Amino acid sequence: MNIRNLVIIAVASLGFSGCATITSNEMQSVSLNTKTDDGQVVDKAKCSLKNDKGTWEMVSPGFVSVHRSAEDLMVECKKEGVSDGFLRAISRAAGGMFGNIILGGGIGAIIDHTKGTGYNYPDELPVKMGASTTVDRREEQKPPQSTATSQADTKTALKQN
């Protein structure tokens, strides 16, 4: 392989690096709502969202833009007369991160990791007041399973044991 071909490959690799930085924003808009254990809406709870990139304040329900990060997003909501609600939103690597590693030799992945653009949080943050919950984007992507199917599966599993 001659020098010219090596230079072309190197330039092409750099062009592919940082894909999520180019196609994605450092900020992500998420929807936050607050409810009690029995599903009653709790309006006007004061919520604080925090990760290693910053802290954001809002009143529920509503949307807030948070800085993407490899770190989980911690949410705490308070309202007088109601027990506090806590939520952990798991940060997951976006598809662009894997493309960066394969096509860009890892340079783009390092950039996207540092800027946070290579990560996503779940789009919806349902805070249950009086409880501590965790939400994961992987769960959003699974098809919903009907209660009847779940009960049938449980009965089958019990019969096998």
**pLDDT band of 91, cuts 50, 70, 90:** very high
Specify the pLDDT at position 102.
52
Domain boundaries, the chain: 3-145
Instruction: Name the more confident of 52 and 19.
Output: 52
How high is the pLDDT of residue 161? 42
Least confident stretch, 5-14, 74-83, 94-103:
5-14
Gap between the Cα atoms of 101 and 1, Å rounded: 23
Residue 8, pLDDT score? 47
pLDDT tens-digit map of 100-152: 455 555 555 555 545 445 789 999 999 999 999 999 988 765 544 433 333 44
CA distance 40 to 128: 10
Q: What is the pLDDT of residues 26-73, one digit of tens each?
A: 899 999 999 999 999 999 999 999 999 999 999 999 999 999 999 999
Say whether pTM exceeds 0.85: no
pLDDT at 160: 47
pLDDT of residue 94: 72
pLDDT at 25: 83
